[in-house]
Structure 1
Amino acid sequence: MRDSVSILIGGKAGQGIASIETLLTKGFKRAGFYTFSTKEFMSRVRGGSNTTLIRISKNPVNAPVYKTDIFVPLDISAFYHAQDRITKETFLIAKKGDFECDCTFYDHDLEALAKSIGSPIVSNTIAAALVFGLLGCDVDVLREIVAQLYSSELLEVNLKALEIGAKLGQDNGNCLYCIEPDLSDLQTKDFFLSGTEGVGFGAIAGGCNFISSYPMSPSTGVLTFLAK
């Protein structure tokens, strides 16, 4: 039992890191956990290895941690990029043989599983359901979120991916790191905000009624949020 768990997801641009972050953060929040996430981009326009750290807790959390409890490298570069954050206590979800580490392996070829249902891009959805299941959470929560996020064209394959990930979570034994969620009134009424929304609300509360901006990340998110 512990009061905080950190999940690191890594991969190159286009592998759906933002999607798995959205699924897991929204899912953990709805499951009753305090949730904090932060993106870590390499200093380049394209390529490289990017990571997202998601930290969940039964208590309020407002900062990332360096340690990694569960690591999902979506490619080999992500593993080597974050290798120094892996310890003996880290659970690594990846195809065994691609990496070597003194950690606990969950030997799953996520890309091959995604290809088996006709879409290699949904390996991120499989990973999200697997992590959710390993932590003892109800995957039905993720099904609701997927139904809201995807159109009919992508909905069916993502639901299939969720089923695969959920089954893997069950097969590997639920609740590796058990945390009892806080389902109190206070926690469930908390806002779930991105940094973009936080900056936007802060600007509006501070009296901002005009903004000029060069349209480039990350400023674009704040600009479009304020425009809404």
Structure 2
Amino acid sequence: MNLAQNLTQHIADPENIIIVDGALPDKKWINTHTPFMASNVLPNPKIPTYYVIDLSLISKQFAVLMEWLTANNSLISFQDSFWFITLGHELKNSIYETQIEDAIKAGLYYAIQGEDLADLVKNFDTKNYPFYYQIQINNSGIPDGIKVVDQYNAEITIFSVALIKSIFALWDINPSQRENINFVFTKVTNDRDESTVAFKVYIENKVSYYDYSTGPTYNILNASKSKAACIK
């Protein structure tokens, strides 16, 4: 049950949603956050009661959004938020998909198995925000490494730990199966000759593509995507 339905009629765009466990916030938090709530209803929630938060109503600034996610990390129902998190990063554009595949054929990529990606984060299964994977690139903009950072920085190419966990969850990848899922990071360039990093995920015959958690120039790959969607 969405407890915000009696507080607002606002409907949030799915990619901007974060779900908060309705049993956790106090009255002060509820009063403060009512302006940011939405009345969307989850079809199969993992928890009995919840609040739908529309991150796009909180702020247009990356730093403020990141502060909110970090401060409210313990209130978030990640199992219910995972689908919304991936929506903010799905890359469904054949031009960029082709670029990624061409880069892979040319050997211009950085690849890592899901198990190794998870192992980069100490206590991976209990960490979410503000932990991010920073993609390291060479002088040609080609990914050549990855490390974990615990401070958000909009000027580097990063992907949230919560996004990677969302992919594992939605693909039904348990810890023993993480070695079978592969992440391949490549350079992608838009029609304005601006470049960033995107990645391909695959296991057996299943494939998806995702973009970055913001970057040096906002909206490089998707002009319609909001800041709230990208930051998760």
Which of structures 1 and 2 has the larger relative contact order (alpha carbons within 8 angstroms, sep 6+)?
2
Same-fold call, TM > 0.5?
no
Q: TM-score, normalised by structure 2?
A: 0.23
TM-score by length of 1: 0.23
Structure with more of its chain in helix, by fraction = 1
The structure in which a higher percent of residues are strand is: 2
